[in-house]
Chain A
Amino acid sequence: MIEIRIHGRGGQGGVTLAKLIATSRFLQGLSVQAFGLYAAERSGAPIQAFCRYSSETITNRNLIYEPDHVIVLDPTLVGPDIAAGLKGGGWILINSPKSPDEFAAQFPRYRVATVDATSIARDNKLGTRSVPIVNTALAGAVGKMLDIPLDEIEAALEHLGFVGGNLAAAGRAYADVQLLGTPSDLTPVEALAATPSASRGHSILDRAGASPPLVKTGQWATEQPHRQQFIPPCNHICPAGNNVQGFLTALAREQTDEALEILLRTTPFPSICGRACPAPCMEACNRIELDGAVNVREMERYAGDHGQVTLEPLAERSERVAIVGSGPAGLTAAYHLARLGYRVSVYESGGEIGGLLRTGIPEFRLPEDIVDKEIDRILALGVNVVTNHRIDRQALFNLARDYDGVLVATGLQEQVGLRLGLDGTAAVVQGIEFLDHVYRDEVRVDGEDVIVIGGGNTAMDAARSALRLGAASVRVVYRRTRDEMPAISEEIDEALEEGVDIEFLTQPIALQDEPSDGIRRHYRLRCVRMELGEPDESGRRSPVEIKDSEFELDCHRVVLALGQSPDISVFPEGTEVREGTQLLGLLEKPVFAIGDLATNEGTVAAAIGSGRRCAVHIHNVLSGEQLNITEHADALRDVDEWRDEVIRADSMKLHLFERQQGARSESLDPSERRSTFDEVHLGLEDASEATRCLSCGVCNECDLCCTYCPEGVLKRVGHRLEFDYSYCKGCGLCVAECPRNVIFMSHL
């Protein structure tokens, strides 16, 4: 008689395997038995099954204590127990992709066979993803191992109705099974002692029976959960490198100061960006797929306006860094270098600190006291700013010689012109210049008809400023459609509400003098209608003239807001001016260009990002450290897998979030606002909008995973998620219920 013991897990088909082996022998005329050992085990728990076959009628009704062979259905069950009572020289067949040699040391007295039944089962689509049914494959392997012809195994399979993939699996396992037929240790195995009598056990009267269970159910798991983290799209796209998810999460917890502190790790201008940033984060926000983007801009404003943080430099260093230009890039670089402990001096050619922050964005969008407040925060770190101090090429060399590092942040000094005729006259003014004059209260446009050419924020700002200053009419002329206008969409809406007209698909061709009416100069702008054609190098569809569609517009003034370009004359001829490129290389000191000068991205946020990157780079050069540029921006938590990819809406479980309409800030009434430079947006009263942040791909400690873990083996301790792997059964509920994809299962 041959006796075989099978070790498996509930659901893997161990008892059926016993029956398959028995059936194959039965069909050859032998007497057989097949049975399982039944107790209280459930799916996944270790079980045993048994099989006997003999040429004589089997009369043994006991369990099998000394099997001839052992089969292990699940590699995680392999341990010394599986060989208990196994007769010396017997076979141990293990479902494993490893070769038998790798088990020989553990089982020196036995013959070992291995086959990757799990892969074979999966390939033949037997069972489910988490519990493949490996028994039919193993039946094939058993056949080869015990010199049973494959057709006898197949006959058994067919007899029990296992066809198709099952037959294929058996055949493949029969071929693939690896046999190590020689035990290395041939000393005989002692027979088992006679069954010991049961010990006296525990009395029902005994109050000691309160001990926790001993079963380590973690051994059941074929997969284990771990924490992962993705890059949220807002963080990814923020030009300043802000930790958007991080500050929103803090606001959601009503930790305004902490929110501000998180922002201040990357940007010194939250209140400014909270008013003026085009907010690409909002366009990338995954919540758009649910019920609308989170109003990140208003939240940044809220944190900036309401948070209280005291900043201290991290260290005191002796190195000195010079920065040319006190615009957003220069000031950001100064801010970060000062926080790192460097002694920073900023040289500003103009009379005020801040550059375009102060003069390029009108008060009704960015009040000056906000600018002052944020600049003061930087100055309080000990940054020294010298105004009315222009740096020319020679001065730049001197700086590079006298300082340990120099950053040039002079921005875009050149304005893009348009050959309309009358260029350089009083008829035409550049947008940035116009806004500067507005800032200084030097503009009079009462009763004028003003035309603004351009579609960006400067154009909108100029148009709306003109209106407030009493222009009789303001007309914006733009050669493409609204969809292509680079200005912030809300600004366009507000401009229209205030009474600005926009002529879309209109290209100005020429500006002509008209006879004066005695009060003021008077011009005529000839325009032509356009339609959209093929995309140009910026990706936007190119406007194409419509024949014979010229027309004329009367005006008293034209403002050109077509963009700017850098003035690189401060550098030696032929210098390549790009972010990250060492300038003045001969001096062997770090000298870089930052901000619009280097990248021409045109936004405060981009300037901040550029300033910060280069400040960190200079620090790395000067200190020898390798400060990670993303270290401040990323919410590094205790994760097992850091995914260097952006998580999109389709990887989120949006249906687990309740719909909630996004908040918009109140604004001044349009009729009211066209006559005042008071701030148009009143801001949100509280930060409840931040609770709409989905925290995509980043754990925000919502604890839903802990709530839904059926075993309670998942706990959050501070910021750490603790999985008790000795008990986790790998059910996967934590993964399924995490709305933001922060947990994943890994195969064991």
Chain B
Amino acid sequence: MSVEVITGNHAAGYALSAAGEANRTARGVACGIYPITPQTEIVEYVAKFPFSKGRVVPVESEHSAMAVSMGASISGARAFTASSANGLAYMAENVMVAGYYRLPIVMVAVNRTLGPPWNIWADQGDTLALRDFAWLQFYCETNQEVVDTTLLAFRLAEDRRILLPVMLCMDAFIVSHTQSETALPEQADVDRFLPDLDLPHRVRYDEARTLGSLAWPDEGLASRLEIDEAMKRVPAVYNECQSIFKETFGRDPGAAVQTYATEDAEAILVASGTMATTTREVVKKRRAAGEKIGFVKLKMYRPFPADELREACRTASRVAVLDRNYAAGAGGIFWQDTCVAFQGRRDDLVIQNYLTGLCGNDVTPALIDEIITDLGSRSSAGEPVWIGIDTGKEA
């Protein structure tokens, strides 16, 4: 293991490449790549990597990038790609297909605002727009977490109990382009951590099987249920992978849901991505000052970790859900999932939405303070609160 000062993109590129290289003893690795700010460096990294048994195909669009990766995955090779924002949107159709084909593809997505208006800075809306497509989703706050979770993602995705693709999300520029010390594991350890991929439903050249023909409603229904059952197995398998990661690399990649001082908290803030870091720091200070305040970081967003979240908020009477995203006509997306998780179980709980850091606006401790203050003033939840902008009219 070496520790280097690298960007989040470099970290992602490193992890993807190491994972791909690990499959050289099996059917190898291939991917389609396409650049888009701010993930371009990821694909450039893998394009330069000297795979022993792999091919990186620079294609003409993101839609084709996922298509090439799918072709590779369907053929039983390890496959990955990376994209962001409008590239993800262009890729969407094939993202969905990868999910419903249950292909264990890992995609690193740099969370960037969906345009128009054209904007290159951090916003989670791009990956969340794809949340229904049977992909697992993880939101990372540091470069290290990106390396670790990317590697973990392969093991999780390829587990026979799961066999679903994984999206690895990191904030634009704040993670992707920020250099900081990052431990990079040795290839040999990665080889140990990631067994050879043996995809049960790969299409073999000598087997007359059709993947993807027309399915009648009954078959369609059964296939959706099958995916739901796989999703339900994720938390347990994640925990296993987390343990094995620790054993292999001597480092904890982090739980799917990470809590701070929630055991007796009255108020809890829920956040993901880099604003989790900021929020946690503010909560730490407040806690040290005696407030019964806690913090939950949602690392795993799909499947939505409802059980863990409910457990973490057991003692709280109010919860602030910070969304660096906005679903037009509805509000923050993490907030919506949170409300569903508590529906009918904690009708006493105030769950308030704070639209924080949208479109790359910087999330400062002061803003977190604002949120905590607002949360404290509420006896019931209201409309989503827009942080950082004067909404002008009467509420």
Are A and B in direct contact (Cβ within 8 Å)?
Answer: yes
Assuming A209-B209, A210-B208, A210-B209, is B102 touching A204 (CB within 8 A)? yes
CB-CB under 8 A from B205, the residues of chain A are none
When distances are taken between beta carbons in the complex, the residues of chain A under 8 Å from B225 are: 200
Chain B residues within 8 Å of chain A by Cβ, number: 21
Q: Which of A39, A199, A207 contacts B200 (CB 8 A)?
A: A207
Complex interface: chain B residues within 8 A of A201 (CB) = 218-219, 221-223
- Is B226 a contact of A204 with CB atoms below 8 Å? yes
Among candidates B209, B214, B216, B222, residue contacting A200 with C-beta atoms closer than 8 Å = B222
Write the nearest CB–CB distance from B135 to chain A, whole angstroms: 15
In the complex, whether B210 has a CB less than 8 A from a CB of chain A is: yes
Q: Does B217 contact A (CB under 8 A)?
A: yes
Q: Is the CB of B217 within 8 A of A198?
A: yes
Given A205-B163, A205-B200, A205-B201: A198 and B214 interface contact (C-beta under 8 Å):
no
A: contact size bracket: 10 to 19
Assess whether A655 is interfacial by the CB under 8 Å rule. no
A201 to B222, CA, bound (A): 6
A204 CA to B223 CA in the complex, in Å?
7
What does the 1/0 interface line of B150-185 toward A look like (CB < 8 Å)?
000000000000010000000000000000000000
- Say whether B101 faces chain A, with CB atoms less than 8 Å apart: yes
**Given the complex of chains A and B, what is the CA–CA distance between A367 and B248 in angstroms?**
101
Is A59 in contact with chain B by the CB < 8 A criterion? Answer: no
Query: Whose C-beta in chain B lies nearest to the C-beta of A201?
Result: B222
Set of chain B residues within 8 Å of A39, measured between Cβ atoms: 214, 216
CB distance from A529 to the nearest CB of B (A): 84
Residues from chain B with a CB closer than 8 A to the CB of A200 are: 222, 225
Main secondary structure of the interface of B (DSSP, over half): mixed
* Distance (whole angstroms) from the CB of B4 to the closest CB of chain A: 40
Which residues does chain A contribute within 8 Å of B222, judged by CB atoms? 198-202
Asked if residues B201 and A210 are in contact (CB atoms below 8 Å), the reply is no
Q: A198 to B219: give the CA distance in the assembly, Å.
A: 8
A40 to B214, CA, bound (A): 8
Give which listed residue, A198, A205, A206, contacts B221 with CB less than 8 A.
A198
CB distance from A122 to the nearest CB of B (A): 35
**Closest residue on chain B to residue A200 by CB atoms:** B222
The reply to whether B223 and A207 contact each other, CB–CB distance below 8 Å, is no
User: How distant is the Cα of A202 from the Cα of B218 in the complex, in angstroms?
Assistant: 10
Which A residues lie within 8 Å of B217 (CB)?
198
Q: Does B390 contact A (CB under 8 A)?
A: no
CB distance from B99 to the nearest CB of A (A): 11
User: Measured between alpha carbons, how far is A412 from B347 in the docked complex, in Å?
Assistant: 125
Question: Shortest Cβ distance from B227 into chain A, in angstroms?
Answer: 9
Shortest Cβ gap from A42 to chain B (Å): 13
Residues of B within 8 A of A210 (CB): 207-210
Docked pose: A203 CA to B101 CA in angstroms = 10
How far is B210's CA from A198's CA once the two chains are assembled, in angstroms?
A: 22
Q: Mark B198-212, 1 if CB is under 8 A from A, else 0.
A: 001100000111110
Distance in angstroms from B209 CB to nearest chain A CB is 5
Query: Do B208 and A206 touch (CB < 8 A)?
Result: no
Q: Which residues of A contact B226 (CB under 8 A)?
A: 203-204
A334-362 to B contact mask, C-beta < 8 Å, 1/0: 00000000000000000000000000000
Closest chain B CB from A210 CB (angstroms): 5
- Whole-angstrom CA separation of A200 from B228 in the bound complex: 13
Other contacts beyond A39-B216, A202-B219: 13, CB < 8 A: A39-B214, A198-B221, A198-B222, A201-B218, A203-B226, A204-B101, A204-B201, A204-B211, A205-B163, A205-B200, A205-B201, A210-B207, A210-B210
Provide 10 A-B residue pairs closer than 8 Å at the C-beta atoms, listed in order of the A residue: A39-B214, A39-B216, A198-B219, A199-B218, A201-B221, A201-B222, A204-B223, A205-B163, A207-B201, A210-B207
7 closest Cβ pairs, A-B complex? A201-B222, A198-B218, A205-B201, A201-B219, A210-B209, A205-B200, A198-B221
A-to-B contact residues, CB < 8 Å: 39-40, 198-207, 209-210
